[in-house]
Amino acid sequence: METGKTIAGSSQSMPFYYGNSGGVASDTQRTFAVPQDWTLGGAQTLSIAFSGQAGNTGALYVKINNTKITYQLDAANIAIGAWQVWNVDLTQIAGSLSSVSTMSIGVDGAGASGMILIDDMKLYAQPGEVITPVAPGSTGLLAQYSFEGNANDSSGNGLNGQMQDSQIVSPGAMNQGSTVQIALGGYVDLGNPASLDFGTGDWTVAAWFKTGMTGTGDANKGTIVSKGGDSGGGHRWALIMSETTEGVVTLVCDDDATKIVVNSNAVTNDDQWHFVAGQRAGTEIRIFIDGQLEATGTANAAYDLAGTSQHNAYIGAVTNNGSMSLYKLMDGSVDEVAIYNRALSAEELLWLAGRQSPIEKPF
């Protein structure tokens, strides 16, 4: 079993390695010693959490008793590393669900191969829903850095960045355009605009990043984007790789009195591109990875990130409020940074994460 990559709240997931040859599909099967009655509670949906990896091929399917159902959305989702759910409509199952004796999960396709992780499988009395990506547009957009030749702000608000020991390289996130590549000691200085202090309002900070940083000491932590002073007090917000756990991105907020730490669950220091977003929506503080909500914290309505102990905003670094130096320096690439003064919807964040086709909505 896998313990390093699970959905939130789970302690282990099941790796399923598959390789189809000779016209035979790969599957993993569970036979119940005592048949299960899935009609109890009026079950309508079987929700299966799964995570793929780049290079996976084939079509995912589930077989309940003798009824086979093929994954109905984009088959290429099997190659996405983020956790997803598949909500299987149980009304498609032939015969009664009062005596389920076998269940299989497999992958069809001649020559298909790869590995998927399977986690929680739960029955729900409600039908499944989908999330359809929606472009967020420019409403509430405070700053945007696409790094197409420079570190200028493309939002029209003039919050241009200054690059230090970093360079523009191609390709960028989603294999498009260009990105800023930051070596240890480098960063992009965004200045100290009051609009990025947020105060008590809603906000969203989103970015693509790629890093292979390991370790958990301050020298091994990589700031993706931040504003304010870290350590020894200060108002701040930051998205930092390995802040609390190696390979995991953390959203940190501090109003100079109460520090809120919200850890993602996915391990993302694999030197592959990932999308991250941190946001405040009312009293909720949330972190998303690759378009999926990973974890939520709570702030009171008066929680105020604006204050006198402010420092510059940076891509790739954060200010040490004690020594006034920059630390937790990123070693990797950051792209498509977007900062909003509103909480983007799940549909909008899915769009920013590069998804254009619907996905199943987790229960």
Predicted confidence band of residue 124 (pLDDT cuts 50, 70, 90)? very high
At 234 the pLDDT is 72
Residue 232: pLDDT above 70?
no
Q: Which residues contact 225 (CB under 8 A, 6 or more apart)?
A: 205, 207, 238, 239, 313, 314, 315, 316, 334, 337, 339
Checking if the pLDDT of 7 tops 70, the result is yes
CATH of domain 14-128: 2.60.120.260
- In the three-class reduction of DSSP (H, G, I as helix; E, B as strand; rest coil), residue 342 is classed as coil
Neighbours of 38 (CB within 10 A): 20
**pLDDT value of position 308:** 66
Q: Given a cut of 70, is residue 103 above it in pLDDT?
A: yes
**pLDDT digits over 134-184, tens only?**
999 999 999 999 999 999 999 999 999 999 999 999 999 999 999 999 987
pLDDT the model gives residue 265: 84
Domain with CATH 2.60.120.260 in the chain: 14-128
Query: Which pLDDT value is given to residue 242?
Result: 97
pLDDT at 69 over 70: yes
Asked if residue 203 lies in contact with residue 339, where contact means CB atoms within 8 angstroms, the answer is yes
More confident: 230 or 132? 132
pLDDT band at residue 66 under the 50/70/90 scheme: confident
Average pLDDT over residues 42-62: 94
CATH code 2.60.120.200 region(s) in the chain: 141-356
State the pLDDT at residue 310: 77
pLDDT at 22 > cutoff 90: no
Amino acid at residue number 160: N
Alpha helices in the chain (DSSP H): 346-352
Give the pLDDT band (50/70/90) at residue 293: very high
> What pLDDT, on the 0 to 100 scale, is given for residue 205?
99
Average pLDDT of span 258-277:
93
pLDDT band at 231 (very low <50, low <70, confident <90, very high): low
The mean pLDDT of 39-57, rounded to a whole number, is 93
Q: What's the predicted TM-score (pTM) here? A: 0.88
- Mean pLDDT rounded to a whole number for the chain: 93
Q: How far apart are CA 16 and CA 338, in angstroms?
A: 36
3-state class percentages of the chain: helix first, strand second, coil last, to nearest 5? 5, 45, 45
pLDDT band for position 233 (cuts 50, 70, 90):
low
Burial of 207 (0-12, 13-18, 19+ CB in 10 A): buried
Backbone angles phi and psi of 39, in degrees to 5: -85, -15
Beta strands at 222-230 and 318-320: parallel, antiparallel or unpaired: parallel
Helices (H) and strands (E) in the chain, counts: 1, 25
DSSP 8-state assignment for residue 357:
S
Q: What is the CATH topology of the domain spanning 141-356?
A: Jelly Rolls (2.60.120)
Q: Quote the percentage of the chain above a pLDDT of 70.
A: 99
